[in-house]
Amino acid sequence: MGLFGRKQKPLAKMSDNELIALAKADKEAFGELYERYVTKIYNYIYYRTGNQQDAEDLTARVFYRAMGHIENYVDKGVPFQAWLYRIAHNLVANFHRDHGRRKIIPLDDYVAHTLRSEAPDKQAEASDEQETLMKAIGRLPAERQQLILLKFIHQKSNAEIGEIMNRTEGAIKSLYHRTLIALRDEIQMQDMKNTMAKPDADSTARKHGRG
Amino acid sequence: MNTTHEQHVQDLVSTLTDAVIRHDGTLDQIMGRYDLNDDDVANWLPIIDSLHNTLVEVQPRPAFKRQLRNELLKRPIGVRVRLRPLPTRVQLAAVLTIVGGFVLIVYNWFMGNMREVALNPDDEPAVLH
């Protein structure tokens, strides 16, 4: 870069667009973009694939692909992070197509994380609820899973989600509403199934107890 | 087509979600601020709250983050560098496939030579006579 090469502003204080312009020639600028978004992209992929190894593999591929195409990136109203999410979404879709499966996150990882401070009986109850909810999320179509993750993990507004998913804010609002209805119905159905299965299990247990 | 009522419910659900996610005050404050009533909240809050409590941010391994950053900034050139971001089991499978393929080629080549030696037509008359 030389004496006059490095810009007056530190990389950490630059906007995404400034960094993208620099990243076409300066790898450190891409490194800053990487630091800003690696955790978000990792989370998105982790919840969509269900395990750490696949999440790491696909996260690496997202950033390799982004770096390979950053020279061609032009901000046509799609922010850089939306572009990254689209790459991640496509790679996850390919992953599920190739593996013919749609897994849900192993519960141990996040239940331990979220419920550390709860009492044991509350933990068990909440863990059951979370398991049911994660299964219900896992059964949603891919775009609804994407919406839920962007809203709750990445805390994006409907407008931002719209940019990422290439839809209007109104369409996202409507899709979110329908997704919540679907989840609520699915959970109610699961609860009913569990309630119906429980007396059978209890009677079996009693029978075995007597025998 | 969206009716006005549907639009109202969609707005309400989004508003309530934003309030829960951003910890926008207590439930009473949220209800007062957004003009919600108990039924609205009872209908939607449990599922929104469950999602908020279940979907929490996870952190990637620091070693993974560090390694990937280093590899990206080095610019990948060649098979070895491209192999490195792959999971260990995939790397192992790739190496085994390459070694297995090589062994198979050598084996076929060797067996082909042996067959040629055994079935050499020039040798047969000499044996028969």
Window from A7-16, B33-42, B73-82, B88-97 with minimum mean pLDDT? B73-82
Decide if B22 touches A, using CB distance below 8 A: yes
pLDDT, one tens digit per residue, over B5-28 is: 788 888 889 988 988 888 766 667
Q: Which two tokens stand for residue B105?
A: 């080629």
Q: For a pLDDT cut of 70, what percent of chain B falls above it?
A: 71
Give the nearest chain B residue to A173 (CA atoms).
Answer: B10
* B62 chain-A contacts, CB cut-off 8 A: none
A148's enclosing H/E stretch is: helix A142-152
pLDDT at residue B129 greater than cutoff 60: no
Q: Distance of CA A125 to CAs A118, A129, A130, A131, A202, Å?
A: 10, 6, 9, 10, 18
What pLDDT score was predicted for residue B109? 87
Mutation pick from B2, B47, B58, B84 vs chain A, by most beta carbons of A within 10 Å, is B58
- The token pair at A3 is 């004496």
For residues A58 and A92, is the Cβ–Cβ distance under 8 A? yes
Nearest partner of A178 among A204, A207, A210, A141, judged by Cα: A141
Task: Retrieve residue B22's tokens.
Answer: 């951003």
For the whole model, what pTM was predicted? Answer: 0.68
Enter the ipTM.
0.73
* pLDDT of the residue at B105: 92
Question: Which residue of B9, B55, B60 is in closest CB contact with A152?
Answer: B55
Looking at the complex, report in whole angstroms how far the Cα of residue A86 sits from the nearest Cα belonging to chain B.
19
Contacts with A67 from chain B: Cβ below 8 Å:
72, 75
Q: Do A113 and B56 form a contact (C-beta atoms < 8 A)?
A: yes
Contacts of B61 in chain A (CB under 8 A): 52, 56
> CA nearest A45: which of A135, A118, A105, A129?
A105
**Interface size, chain A vs chain B, as Cβ–Cβ contacts under 8 Å:** 111
Chain A residues with CB-CB distance to B17 below 8 A: 151, 176
What are the residues whose beta carbons fall under 8 Å from the beta carbon of B2, sequence distance 6 or more? Answer: A174, B10
Residue B100 pLDDT greater than 90, yes or no: yes
User: Is B85's CB within 8 Å of A31's CB?
Assistant: no
- Mean pLDDT score, A142-147: 91
Mean pLDDT, chain B, whole residue set: 78
Cβ A157–B18 below 8 Å, yes or no? yes
Judging contacts by C-beta atoms under 8 Å, the chain B residues touching residue A59 are 60, 68
